[in-house]
């Protein structure tokens, strides 16, 4: 009896068909997962991330931990001190009666329920202010005030990281006075004028001085520049001094990952982040990738696949970030 050509074709058995579908599904899932995790795969393989010639980049909590509390508040600084960042940056202003406060602006308007220049208000008036705005603020933050510098320094007495004090809108003589209040602890001060540099050197030669403008390279220990500008990268590459970068207020809501990677590749010394815990994770990934790519770390055979799939990340080499002193080791 003859059979048709169609019936003569051997049909796949049901088990084989199901097995094939399952294999295709698994492979498809792996491809999708790999695409979603391509950044982590790149980190493990060291693809697309230029090598640094300098020491690992520091992460500084810019005005405290703004993912948890409003900028420059006692609570934001305390949260940053309990976090993973290498240091904390905060700003200082002086009241009419000579009391120093941690506050970014030279007026009370943007971040508090008071108005007017800080230097025209007494400490009694400033002590009554309530935070009602600013970076990191939301309506759940009730009853927070403007902290005195003395209280913040007392809270940070045993802090092992670096303190970075920004002299916003400093008047003549302010720099030397603030340097004296730091009482010899390892610290960095951000300044704008040559007069401030000289005053700090006279008050405490051990303080690291970083200029907010590209001035007096023979007098300072480094420069602070906006991380979002292309000019920054060119100047970093041409500088003999360490360069710090920060993200301006207009970019507060932006993901800092791309800027951190660019700063890393440009040998930036320290990155001032408004999202310090996320920044630390990004920098640690870049460090791990650099070590892995250089073959300087002993990693398990499953590290690359593990990182790509989101597992086994603990197998990557651990890092020890420099802590305790803001003086440069470059």
Catalytic sites, residue numbers: 62, 104
Q: Is 50 helix (H, G, I), strand (E, B) or coil?
A: coil
Question: Which 3 state secondary structure label does DSSP give 202?
Answer: helix
Q: For the chain, how many helices (H) and strands (E)?
A: 12, 9
Q: Which residues contact 192 (CB under 8 A, 6 or more apart)?
A: 167, 170, 211, 212, 213
Q: How many CB atoms lie within 10 A of CB 209?
A: 21
**How many C-beta atoms surround the C-beta of residue 327 within 10 A?**
14
Strand partners, 59: 271
Q: Are 107 and 115 in contact (CB under 8 A)?
A: yes
Nearest to 150 by CA among 206, 92, 205, 208: 92
């Amino acid at each position: 009896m003859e059979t048709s050509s169609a019936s003569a074709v051997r049909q796949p058995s049901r088990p084989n068909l199901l097995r094939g579908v399952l294999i295709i599904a698994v492979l498809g899932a792996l491809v999708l997962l790999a695409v979603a995790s391509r950044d982590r795969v790149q980190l493990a393989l060291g693809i697309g991330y230029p090598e640094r010639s300098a020491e690992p980049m520091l992460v500084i909590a810019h005005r405290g931990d703004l993912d948890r509390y409003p900028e420059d508040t006692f609570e934001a600084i305390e949260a940053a001190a309990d976090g993973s960042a290498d240091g904390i940056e905060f700003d200082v202003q002086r009241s009419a009666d000579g009391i120093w406060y941690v506050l970014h602006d030279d007026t009370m308007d943007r971040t508090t329920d008071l108005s007017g220049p800080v230097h025209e208000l007494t400490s009694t008036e400033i002590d009554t202010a309530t935070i009602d705005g600013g970076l990191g603020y939301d309506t759940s933050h009730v009853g927070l005030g403007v902290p005195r510098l003395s209280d913040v320094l007392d809270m940070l007495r045993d802090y092992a990281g670096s303190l970075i004090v920004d002299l916003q809108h400093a008047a003549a003589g302010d720099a030397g006075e603030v340097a004296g209040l730091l009482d010899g602890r390892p610290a960095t001060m951000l300044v704008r004028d040559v007069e401030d540099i000289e005053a700090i050197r006279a008050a405490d030669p051990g303080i690291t001085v970083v200029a907010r403008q590209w001035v007096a390279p023979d007098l300072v220990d480094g420069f602070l520049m906006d991380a979002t500008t292309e000019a920054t990268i060119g100047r970093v590459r041409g500088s003999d001094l360490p360069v710090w970068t920060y993200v301006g207020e207009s970019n507060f809501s932006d993901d800092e990952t791309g800027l951190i990677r660019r700063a890393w590749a440009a040998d930036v010394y320290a990155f001032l982040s408004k999202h310090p815990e996320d920044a630390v994770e990004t920098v640690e990934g870049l460090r791990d990738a650099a070590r892995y790519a250089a073959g300087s770390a002993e990693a398990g055979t499953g590290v690359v696949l593990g990182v790509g799939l989101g597992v086994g990340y603990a197998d990557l080499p651990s890092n020890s970030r420099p802590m305790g002193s803001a003086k440069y080791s470059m």
